[in-house]
Structure 1
Amino acid sequence: MRTKVKICCIKSIEEAHAAIEFGASALGLVSTMPSGPGIVDEAVIAQIARSVPPPIATFLLTSAVDSEEIVAQQRRCGTNTLQLCDHLPPSTYPTIRNALPGIKLVQVVHVEDMESVDYAVSAAEHVDALLLDSGRLSAPIKELGGTGRTHDWGLSRKIRDAIKIPLFLAGGLTEENVAEAIRLVEPFGIDLCSSVRTADSLDFEKLGAFFAAIPNAPNKAAHTNPLPESRFK
């Protein structure tokens, strides 16, 4: 199976459609965050989401932890997927599910230690996919993604082997290390931001080089939804 590719930090309709042309099957749209790159206004996120054809997935990255706030934000932005960037308690998920039927939930897990593995296994019971990243929840200003750092892929592999839902791998992936990351972790998909941008813009040359470095790179002519429909009954 081809490794799916999600391009994050999309900032315009033009960037969105360029990423799709290169082979992305999902786009990340970053709302307000305590730190990190790629933040855009919700009005822009809504415009981009409306412009993206199915079956491309549009991920709203939210730092909110209150279920009502998360639901309201998704309704304003109109994406088909929620990327929950902070660690949420289990009680949050049913409320979001009931309010947003059909909207896919992807929980970010910031991989730091074995506690991260335990959290991932627990969260996997409530969401449609996990996304493993290299943030630090304990930092003076929370880091919820976009750090450009790798994490311990051995821990990522432990998570991969312990869950039964799709897993995306993020954090410091480059054209030099992506093949090794895929070999070690065998993720369902990978997530890119800083490695394919220059001066805060999507860099087509870097994007092409990255896709060329991915084993079994996605086919531009064959897009599929990056999360199996069986997870969304």
Structure 2
Amino acid sequence: MTRVKVCGITRSEDLQTAVDAGADAIGIIADVPVDTPRDVSPERAADLVTETPPFVTSVLVMMPSDYARAIELATEIEPDAIQLHGDIRPGDLAYLRAKLETRILLAVDAEDISVAKQYDDMVDGFVVDSIGEDGGGGTGRTHDWERTRAETADLESAVILAGGLTPDNVAEAVRTAEPFAVDVASGVEERGGVKDPDAVASFVERATGNTQAVEPGS
């Protein structure tokens, strides 16, 4: 069954919404250099990680330019996994892997998935996203799911499909790309950084193949 990550959690009530809906993981964006309503302080991120219940994976989403700072944040916040965005060189990733015990996810641009091969033995998963000009995700744009499936077929690491997913298209995305997991942020929001409970519930149910999906707003 496809796993689900609800990303861009900023509030305790939205964390609980994701957990109640059956999400396998929640994403918390902290200390990133891009303008997003989903960015929280390291202190708030640590609180949300603490509130995440057992058996739900907490993922700290970061875009580091200073890898000493990345290590400091991961150590301070103590997530189950970190998700890295931006221009990450293999040597930098190897350094982080050596210094941290947490699982590592690497975001890769759906338009340039081939670069993932050189990182395949260094990470636990790839988040295949529609990356913006600033290097961050959360663009709300979909990409070619058939191409994604073809270009990730030989990867050993888990593939997490992101980019423009909503309750309306996630079932088709799962059927087409056959990912290990799907990742949603803006596609289940009432407004920037605030989740819509009905949309979250519908997204999880449709992503996991539950035929009793809830219509958003019902």
**TM-score, with length taken from structure 1:** 0.84
Q: 1:211 to 1:55 in 2, by over 3 A?
A: closer
Could you tell me which residue of structure 1 aligns to residue 115 of structure 2? 119
Q: 1:26 to 1:126 in 2, by over 3 A?
A: same
Structure 1 counterpart of 2:128, one-letter code:
L
Is residue 159 from structure 1 mapped to residue 159 from structure 2 by the alignment?
no
Shift of residue 29 of structure 1? Answer: 0.3
Partner residue, 1:148: 140
Between the two proteins, the alignment pairs up a number of residues equal to 208
In the alignment, structure 1 residue 130 sits paired with structure 2 residue 126: yes
Residue aligning to 2:195: 202
Partner of 1:162, secondary structure, is: coil
Mapped to 2, the partners of 1:52 and 1:187 lie a distance apart of 24
What is the CA-CA distance between 1:163 and the residue it aligns to?
0.2
Distance 2:149 2:142 in 1: 14
SS of 1:35's partner is coil
The aligned residue for residue 74 of structure 2 is: 74
Write the letter of the residue equivalent to 1:96: L
Q: Distance in 1 between matches of 2:12 and 2:208?
A: 28
1:224 maps to which residue?
A: none
Given that 2:171 and 2:209 are in contact with CA atoms closer than 8 Å, whether structure 1 keeps it comes out as: no
Instruction: Give the equivalent residue in structure 2 for 1:172.
Output: 164
Q: How far, CA to CA, are the matches of 1:153 and 1:69 in structure 2?
A: 34
Q: For residues 151 and 27 of structure 2, what CA distance do their matches in structure 1 show?
A: 22
Q: Give the match's secondary structure for 1:29.
A: strand
Question: More deviation in 5-14 or 150-159?
Answer: 150-159
Equivalent residue number for residue 18 of structure 1: 17
- What are the superposed Cα offsets for residues 115-167 of structure 1, whole Å, 9 maximum, x if unpaired? x122111122210101000013xx2xx14111100112233112320201111
The residue that corresponds to 1:108 in the other structure is 107
User: Are 1:184 and 2:180 matched, yes or no?
Assistant: no
User: What's 2:2 paired with?
Assistant: 3
Q: Which residue of 1 aligns with 2:95?
A: 95
Paired residue secondary structure (1:76):
helix
Q: Which residue of 1 aligns with 2:215?
A: none
**SS state at 1:130 partner:** strand
Q: For residue 85 of structure 1, what is the aligned residue in structure 2?
A: 85
1:35 corresponds to: 35
Unaligned stretches of 5+ residues in structure 1: 218-233
What amino acid is aligned across from residue 67 of structure 1 in structure 2? Y
Q: CA deviation at 1:184?
A: 1.2
Q: CA deviation at 1:61?
A: 0.7
CA shift at 1:40, angstroms? Answer: 0.9
CA shift, 1:97, in A, is: 1.9
1:215 is displaced (CA, Å) by 4.4
Aligned-residue RMSD, C-alpha: 1.5
CA–CA separation in structure 2 for the residues paired with 1:27 and 1:41: 16
What residue identity is the alignment partner of 1:160?
Answer: T
The 8 Å contact of residues 128 and 161 in structure 2, kept in 1 or not, is answered as: yes
Rounded to whole Å, the distance in 1 between the matches of 2:117 and 2:166 is 27
The 4+ residue runs of structure 1 with deviation greater than 3 A are none
Structure 2, unaligned stretches of length 5 or more?
211-218
User: Percent identity, aligned pairs only?
Assistant: 29
**Between 126-135 and 30-39, the greater mean CA deviation after superposition:** 30-39
